[in-house]
Amino acid sequence: MSSLNASTVRERRGIQRRDFLKVSVAASGGLLIGFQFPGLSRLASAQASVSTFMPNAFVRIGTNERITVIVNHSEMGQGVYTSLPMLLAEELDADWTKVGYESAPVDPKYNHPAFGMQVTGGSSSVWSGLEQFRQAGAAARAMLVAAAAQQWNVDAASCRTESGAVFNGSNRKLTYGQLVGSAAKVTPPEHVQLKDPKTFKLIGKPIKRLDTPVKLNGKAVFGIDVKLPGMLTAVIARPPIFGAKVKSFDDSRARSMPGVRKIVAVPAGVAVIADTFWQAKMAREALQVDWDEGSMQNFSTSQMMQEFRERSKSAGTSVRKDGDAAGALANAAKKIEAVYEVPYLSHLMMEPLNCVVDLRPDSCQVWTGSQFQTVDRANAAKVAGLPNEKVQLHTTFLGGGFGRRANPQSDFVVEAVHVAKAAGTPVKVIWTREDDMRGGWYRPAFLHAIEGGIDASGNAVSWRSRLIGQSIMTGTPFAAMMQGKDYDPASVEGVDDLPYAVPNVTVESHQAEINVPVQWLRSVGHSHTAFAVECFVDEMAFLAQKDPYQFRRQLLLKQPRHLGVLDLAAQKAGWDKPLPKGMGRGIAVHFAFGSYSAHVAEVSVTDGKVRVHRMVCAIDCGQYVNPGIIAAQTEGGAIFGASAALFQELTFESGRLQQTNFNTFPVMRMNECPEIETYIVESKEKAGGIGEPGVPCAAPAIANAVFAATGKRIRRLPIRMTEAI
Amino acid sequence: MVGFSVNGKRVDLDVDPSTPLLWVIREHLDLTGTKYGCGMAQCGACTVHINGEAVRSCVAPVSRATGKAVTTIEGLSPDLSHLLQRAWLEEDVPQCGYCQSGQLMSAAVLLRQKPRPTDDDIDEAMTGNICRCGTYLRIRRAIHRAAEMVAKEGTR
């Protein structure tokens, strides 16, 4: 999701908080349990015979002392099943060894406090949950304290809590489990006092993840692992070209193959429904489908980029205009122009898309790794012909998300409901890796043309950015996120807020209309704007004959948090220390999703092959919750960005995607992975995101390091030395 | 019929012998810890052991396991006591976790063959296992940590 509306809707949090505290008390167990699958709660098995106290929607306390935190964000690797429980447990004074997690069902009370629906995206889970989960923990604690005080006939203010128990004086103690019955009768507090951060025991500590054990013994349940009684498995013969439609199909061979139950046309293609995945896949190979290839049959990305280049010569929709960039450029002592190009990218989660649906006449149950529960449920309900309340979506672990599992059309959920309708039994639709990669909803390809000028003393005086690419918002239910602008803010985020002190800045956007489905991919617009902007700043520094780090410093003197991470990364990397011959060092800094990030990369180039040896990452995400998870996300983000920079490109010829698996769309591997160091800025500023901010700086830091090593500029990703300038 | 042992238990299955071992393990034996990632031995998410050797089960027909001993992640240890699982816990390795079964199964063979692996050994043994979340550095540290445990405690 784009960062753009996070700030605007954040304002509504105050109201949300008051509503939240009114959430009613449910003292009985099982209310919210619904479906429990192994792995989603490490405490699930113990829960059945235990009475529980549920002071609010986010926590359940059992007579067995177990604390189950109900998490309204999806766990896709970013650690929300740990960081959000930490927030609640901190205020509850829970015994951390008794804390578990459970995924929230779809319900408005689990809506994202800023986005107004259940969604995981925009690197927002922790900052948006910060107050929500702390308040929930503090409210539960207050009720437990009140219950104990009543029992002892003392003033609640004279009681204290620690490690899952209430204490009074030197000899009175009641554990939270012992208070389950009486606390349920206490009226929830109207207001609670949150802890002074100085007294935090969990927040700010590198607490180990709660979901690690089940991810080491095969017990973690991902969508692809869900199995229901009587369930069949389906694969879909999907269009070879976007927009192609089934004209006819011949299933005479396929339908007599072992295990095949049904072959049926669905809106997504032709579904082959069988007892097992392999039988369905084999039958799909025997299926003959005649496609009406539609209007995209001649589509070629090389031609598209040529058209983008042409279009970059004319002015686009104005996004930002400070001063007179054209005039300043005309008077500049030195000028430079550069055209940066980035390709379509696939999210390429390790777990290919899949969805399980059990459709009954009056209910529909969906199991999948969703980032978009509210939207997915509503879209499933529409196809099922049921009201929303009759549809429940169970969020499993996600084998990676990166935005793909928050699809505006719920493509992988909707098609599974269609297949379930046809199957008449519970069904699991599995996408093969090839299906997943061909399935669209990519990070759009972009061209970003920049012209800049410096004066005689080497000061930057003019900057004009012109971007051409598809909008991820136009035409979707999320067009409202464009906030009435005639350009897509997600296309230009990261350059519209250019932080450098350049007096004359113009940013323009051209929207390309191409029938390739696109959407948000980890760091969204920042995934390409940071590359262009940070490479161009480097080119300007060279033009001004200044050190790229010092050149940035001078232009960021009024941006203390940019400067903070820039200096930290440069200092930790040893910016001034010479490198062995043949190696180069590059730097980049960027703000995204409420956080500031800077990377220094060290590379060598041998026989045209770029090797990244070391990356030093500085991150300022404001107040932070779990530095262990922050380090993991920063490293992972750097690797994600480096993979795209070094290896990844989707191309189309005659409308057909040329890359279909890891062999043609590579991901960085162990032997290619650099040393990565992460340094976190201590800060009391408002919390920012961490899932995405580690991505944008990787590509420009590497590209700038390639220049330092070879004197060749990289203006197109993925990096190919044969294309270097 | 195809007969072999899985995690110490004998199984005899009436399946097409050309079915990849991965799908037999997942769909017939309900051992879902072994994952599908690519279907062409590119990513390593499906790694299991056949007679102690790391095998990409997505491209190995189940017939290849006939009469042999298959070990899946569920059989690495029942209680997270395997040195690698302990080291993985200490380094807090997983993010999304989807690839980690395969990572552990590849690392287990490496550690058995080379109780004190160098970084180059780790590169060689682990390069076939992709992690899209980027946990490589923690995996490397965890393997070294497990190797230190081997040195101290011996293999289990």
Q: What is the mean pLDDT of residues A456-467?
A: 97
Task: Check whether A41 has a pLDDT greater than 60.
Answer: no
Residues A157-206: tens digit of each pLDDT? 999 999 999 999 999 999 999 999 999 999 999 999 999 999 999 999 99
Q: Specify the pLDDT at position A485.
A: 85
DSSP A352-395: --EEEEEEETTEEEEEE--S-HHHHHHHHHHHHT--GGGEEEEE
Same domain, B100 and B62: no
Same domain, A413 and A452: no
Q: Specify the pLDDT at position B155.
A: 59
Q: Domain of A605: which CATH number? A: 3.30.365.10
CA atoms within 13 A on the CB side of A514: 32
Q: Specify the pLDDT at position B78.
A: 82
- What is the DSSP code (8-state) at residue A345? B
Domain count, chain B: 2
| Domain assignment present for A685 | yes
> Final residue of a domain: which of B75, B110, B139?
B75
Report which secondary-structure segment, H or E, holds A29. Answer: none
Task: Check whether A510 has a pLDDT greater than 70.
Answer: yes
Return the minimum-mean-pLDDT range out of A13-27, A649-663, B26-40, B139-153: A13-27
Report which secondary-structure segment, H or E, holds A188. Answer: none
Q: Which residue of B has its CA nearest to A692?
A: B133
Considering CB atoms only, which of A215, A662, A671 is closest to B97? A215
> Final residue of a domain: which of B75, B97, B127?
B75
**Residue A113 · residue A107 · CB < 8 Å:** no
| Residue A93: partners with Cβ closer than 8 Å, 6 or more residues away | A141, A161, A162, A163, A164
Q: Specify the pLDDT at position A7.
A: 33
> Which residues of A are less than 8 Å from B30 in CB distance?
227
| Residue A424: partners with Cβ closer than 8 Å, 6 or more residues away | none
Same domain, A613 and A659: yes
CA-based radius of gyration for chain A: 27
Domain limits for position B7: 2-75
Return the minimum-mean-pLDDT range out of A40-54, A379-393, A554-568, A632-646: A40-54
Task: Check whether A22 has a pLDDT greater than 60.
Answer: no
3-class state of residue A212 by DSSP: coil
Domain limits for position A653: 301-345+442-723
Same domain, B106 and B147: yes
| Domain assignment present for A212 | no
> Final residue of a domain: which of B75, B109, B140?
B75
* B137 with A673: Cβ contact below 8 A: yes
Same domain, B90 and B60: no
DSSP B24-81: IIIIIS--TTS--S-SSSSS-TTEEEETTEEEETTTSBGGGGTTSEEE-HHHH-TTS-
Chain CA centroid to CA A255, Å? 40
* Residue B135 touches chain A, beta carbons under 8 Å: yes
How far is B146 from B103, CA to CA, in rounded Å?
14
Same domain, A20 and A169: yes
Task: Check whether A16 has a pLDDT greater than 80.
Answer: no
Q: Which residue has the tokens 């180059």?
A: B120
Same domain, B92 and B148: yes
Same domain, A287 and A308: no
Same domain, A195 and A273: no
> Which residues of B are less than 8 Å from A673 in CB distance?
134, 136-137
Domain count, chain A: 3
Give whole-number Cα distances, A96 to A65, A88, A347, B70, in Å.
Answer: 11, 10, 34, 37
pLDDT band at A335 (very low <50, low <70, confident <90, very high): very high
* B134 with A628: Cβ contact below 8 A: no
Q: Please name which of A629, A710, A582 lies closest in space to residue A79, comparing C-alpha atoms.
A: A629
pLDDT band at A475 (very low <50, low <70, confident <90, very high): confident
The tokens describing A705, both together, are: 């390091």
- Mean pLDDT of chain A, nearest integer: 93
How far is A75 from A104, CA to CA, in rounded Å?
11
| Domain assignment present for A465 | yes
Q: Which residue of A has its CA nearest to B91?
A: A208
* A399 with B73: Cβ contact below 8 A: no
Q: Please name which of A692, A725, A691 lies closest in space to residue A710, comparing C-alpha atoms.
A: A725
Same domain, A236 and A102: no
Same domain, A424 and A446: no
- What is the DSSP code (8-state) at residue A650? B
Residues B41-78: tens digit of each pLDDT? 999 999 999 999 999 999 999 999 999 999 999 999 98
**Residue A138 · residue A23 · CB < 8 Å:** no
Is A234 buried (19+), middle (13-18) or exposed (0-12) by CB count in 10 A? buried
Q: Domain of B136: which CATH number? A: 1.10.150.120
Q: What is the mean pLDDT of residues A587-615?
A: 98
> Which residues of B are less than 8 Å from A215 in CB distance?
94, 97, 100
pLDDT band at A480 (very low <50, low <70, confident <90, very high): confident
A654 Rama class: left (phi>0) / alpha (psi -120 to 50) / beta: left
Same domain, A387 and A249: yes
Same domain, A452 and A565: yes
Same domain, B65 and B88: no
- Mean pLDDT of chain B, nearest integer: 97
Same domain, A290 and A305: no
Preceding amide of A267 cis, omega within 30 = no
Same domain, B63 and B92: no
| Domain assignment present for A435 | no
Residues A232-251: tens digit of each pLDDT? 999 999 999 999 999 999 99
Q: Which residue of B has its CA nearest to A215?
A: B97
> Final residue of a domain: which of A139, A169, A204?
A204
Q: Domain of B15: which CATH number? A: 3.10.20.30
Q: How far A411 CA lies from chain B's nearest CA (Å)?
A: 20
* B36 with A224: Cβ contact below 8 A: yes
Same domain, B19 and B68: yes
Q: Specify the pLDDT at position A494.
A: 98
How far is A231 from A227, CA to CA, in rounded Å?
7
Entry field: residues in chain A = 725
